[in-house]
Structure 1
């Protein structure tokens, strides 16, 4: 029996995968411009980005990485798969990448063992709702990673990048281990869940 999470996941992954390349590129650029206006990101000293799986039409993070790293004092990280969670490893946009365990781009020469907790973590999503629930690919890697950062005493600001059709008005089903979002950015909207 297909769960409600799986049904939503399958439907929206198919819709996203069917985006034409021009809509995907222009939408990703608009999302980058809007995300860069979020104060927590704009003023952060350390940011973890995901490297987008462009063949799956995830929001392309390259334009946002370019905007953030124009300020050369920002420390940038990307995730690599470490056992059943993620590790944040230092990243420069000139670093060569290879396909990771699930097809996601990862740095070729990843240096693990970094203890820094990024101030901002940019996450991908298949679907989100306006209450800050996030539906990923169903393996819990980001939930375990974010939970681990909080157990270390960190309080990262979590931003999901999605296209507007991935932002649902109805509530997504959630589980006790699901980590919530602080902010959602689409090509048309910025939804703040965390309000300082």
Structure 2
């Protein structure tokens, strides 16, 4: 199972390395529009998501649009051991460089359970299948977050943000700790899963 995940990760990361900055910027604007068009996002007062880095689907325009609309945006802070703490987004000047090339909010830490206050959880990934099984980078940070959300009442609407072509018809290799997501959003549109 781990070898199958590793091979799929490498295939997708190789394809992502071929994306140029102009295409990534245009795709980020389209992704923002797709996510903002989801009824769950339109109705949410608190959304948890992340600041994209490298060749990930761009979240910058989405973070700004949600914040401009008065949505309480929670962003992750990586903890030792791989779990995630959360802090509110206060604007681009409130983002600071962190470990692993990440950008994190520099505000008050709200604790790992703060994510359960979010009505919508937008997570990173490399691929997802039609049953909602998501392939991450292998660190387990978002597996913990998804499990925490699933245990909250009511659980949040969960959506993985991907590039076009990363919603797969074939099953994504999964392990018992993998928690499925409800949907995927790509620059090309939204995909309801499960």
For residue 102 of structure 1, what is the aligned residue in structure 2? 100
Comparing 80-89 and 21-30, the one that deviates more:
80-89
1:165 aligns with 2:165: yes
Deviations 1:17-59 (A, max 9, x none): 2201111111111111111100001110100111001xx2111
Please identify, of 149-158 and 169-178, the stretch whose mean Cα deviation from structure 2 is larger: 149-158
Rounded Cα–Cα distance in structure 1 between residues aligned with 2:155 and 2:15:
33
Q: How big is the shift at 1:112? A: 3.1
Structure 1 residue 65, shift from structure 2 partner: 1.6
Q: Report which stretch shifted further, 107-116 or 14-23.
A: 107-116
* Structure 1 contact 117–154 (Cα < 8 Å) conserved: no
TM-score by length of 1: 0.89
Q: How many corresponding residue pairs? A: 191
Alignment correspondent of 1:16:
16
Contact kept, 8 Å, 2:87 with 2:107, in 1: the verdict is: no
Partner of 2:90: 92
Show the counterpart of 2:76: 79
Change (3 A) 1:185 1:137: same
Deviations 1:159-180 (A, max 9, x none): 1111112221211011111111
Aligned to 1:129: 129
Matched residue SS, 1:28: helix
In the alignment, structure 2 segments of 5+ residues that lack a partner are none
What TM-score does the superposition give when structure 2 sets the normalisation length? 0.90
- Aligned match for 1:63, one of 46, 61, 64: 61
| Structure 1 residue 117, shift from structure 2 partner | 1.9
User: Is this contact kept in 1: 2:88–2:107, CA < 8 A?
Assistant: no
Tell me the distance in 2 between the aligned counterparts of 1:152 and 1:188. Answer: 31
Consecutive unaligned residues in structure 1, runs of 5 or more: none
- Tell me the secondary structure at the aligned position of residue 101 of structure 2: coil
Using the TM superposition, give the Cα deviation of residue 93 of structure 1 relative to its aligned residue in structure 2, in angstroms.
2.3
